[in-house]
Every structure is written in structure tokens, then in C-alpha cells.
Amino acid sequence: MQASQLLASVLVLTLTACAAVGGGAEWESAEPSLQRLTLLVGQRSLDSDDFAPVEDQPLFGVELSDGGVDANIGYEFGVTVSSDSEDAFISGLGVTEVTGSMAELYLGVRKEFPSHGVRPFMAAGLSAARGEIEVGPNSADDTVFGFYIHGGLVFPVSDVLSLVADLRARFGEEFEVNGVEGDADFVALGIGLAFGL
């Protein structure tokens, strides 16, 4: 099963669970903390011209956030990692395993909009990303800086547990390896479990 199919299946299960909980009084009364630790799983989509055949990578992440109280702005700090391997025909090497990976560290401001049901949030900040590509025995990597925008929905299940639908986009510097530049921008879609602190 491909990563995109797995993500779609997990998303359907998550939304089904939200709908099942959503009809009850517990959903309406859930008032989760705006401070939370979120564990994410999803998919990062990189530029296909620069990262094919490993441009779509399964993603895992952890995030510490505070959505802000009343009119205040909160923060978010997180780490995401992704990787994928595929066999591809490379001129001069024949069929060779290609592995692409990316690790990202980000810090930004965040605003969550509390309600008695679904809670949307928006965020933006700075991102440091380290990308690596391995083609057979050869590998190259680079670390670049940029910015990101982030948004999503929080589905409170209880005072201490929420489900999260998460969308991120990164922009900024390009990778440069041996004088050749490559696009470091990406879009990431994820779902997660958030635990109130």
C-alpha cells in the first residue's frame, strides 16, 4: 500500500471516529488545554523534478504548542522527519536504489480559535531543513533555512486528548549540492494525536 493510500485510510478512520464522538454530549463539553504535545504521521511531498522517484515520503513528527489565550498569540516548536527508497534506472549505474530523506526543525507563532466543537488554528514561522539523497554508494546533503505556514483543525475528544488534521507548506532557500541547486520547498499533510499539558 502506498503512503498516500495509507494516509487516506487513516484520515477516513480518524474522521469516522470524530463523527462517532461528535454526536454525544462529551464532544460538546470537551475543553482541552491550548498547551499540547502532538504526535503526527503523514506524507511530505517534495518537488518531483529534484527528488523523483522519492518525492513523496512518509512523515513522522512531534510538536509542542500553545494556541494562545483570548487575544494572545501562542507558539509552536516541532521536529519532522521523512524518508523513502525506490529502485530507479540511473545512467552509468543501471538499476540502483535511491533514498531521499528530510529532517526539519521549526519554530513559529500560533493562534488557535477555541470553540465548543472543532477548533481551527493557524501558524507561521522559521524552518531549518536538512535534506539528503543517496544514489547507490554516493550520497549528498545540505541544510537550508526558510519559513513555513501551517494550519489545521483540532477535534477535541476529551479534556486531555484531541485528534488533529494538519497541513504545512515550507518555502525558502534551495538545497545546493556540488554546485547544483534543488528545491527545498514542500507540502506536508498529516494527522495526529494531541495530549493536553
pTM of the model: 0.78
DSSP state letters, 10-32:
HHHHHHHHHHHHHTSHHHHH---
Name every residue whose Cβ is closer than 8 Å to that of residue 162 and which is 6 or more positions away in sequence. 32, 36, 119, 154, 155, 156, 193, 194, 196
Q: pLDDT tens across 110-148, in order?
A: 998 877 788 899 999 999 999 888 887 777 888 999 999
pLDDT value of position 167? 97
Backbone angles phi, psi at 52, to 5 degrees: -60, 140
194 in a structural domain: no
140 in a structural domain: yes
| Cα 60-159-165 angle, rounded to 5 deg | 35
pLDDT value of position 124? 97
The dihedral built from the CA positions of residue 22, 27, 28 and 33, taken in this order, carries a sign that is negative
CATH code of 177's domain:
2.40.160.20
Q: Mean pLDDT across the stretch 139-159?
A: 91
127 in a structural domain: yes
Q: pLDDT tens across 177-189, in order?
A: 666 677 889 999 9
Q: Checking DSSP bridges between strand 74-90 and strand 186-196, what pairing results, if any?
A: unpaired
pLDDT value of position 159? 83
143 in a structural domain: yes
Q: Mean pLDDT across the stretch 39-55?
A: 88
197 in a structural domain: no
Of 141 and 163, the structure prediction assigns the larger pLDDT to 163
The C-alpha cell 528545491 sits at 183
Q: pLDDT tens across 49-105, in order?
A: 777 888 899 999 999 999 877 668 999 999 999 999 888 777 767 778 888 899 999
- Integer Cα distance of 73 and 66 in angstroms: 8
The dihedral built from the CA positions of residue 24, 26, 31 and 34, taken in this order, carries a sign that is negative
Say if residue 15's pLDDT is above 70. no
196 in a structural domain: no
DSSP state of 178: T
Q: Mean pLDDT across the stretch 141-167?
A: 93
Structural domains in the chain (count) = 1
pLDDT value of position 153? 95
Q: Mean pLDDT across the stretch 36-49?
A: 92
The dihedral built from the CA positions of residue 86, 91, 95 and 99, taken in this order, carries a sign that is negative
| DSSP-assigned beta bridge partners for residue 98 | 86, 135
Nearest alpha-carbon partner for 122 in 166, 59, 163? 166
Of 69 and 164, the structure prediction assigns the larger pLDDT to 164
193 in a structural domain: no
Residue-range definition of the domain harbouring residue 77: 3-187
129 in a structural domain: yes
pLDDT band with cut points at 50, 70 and 90 for residue 25: very low
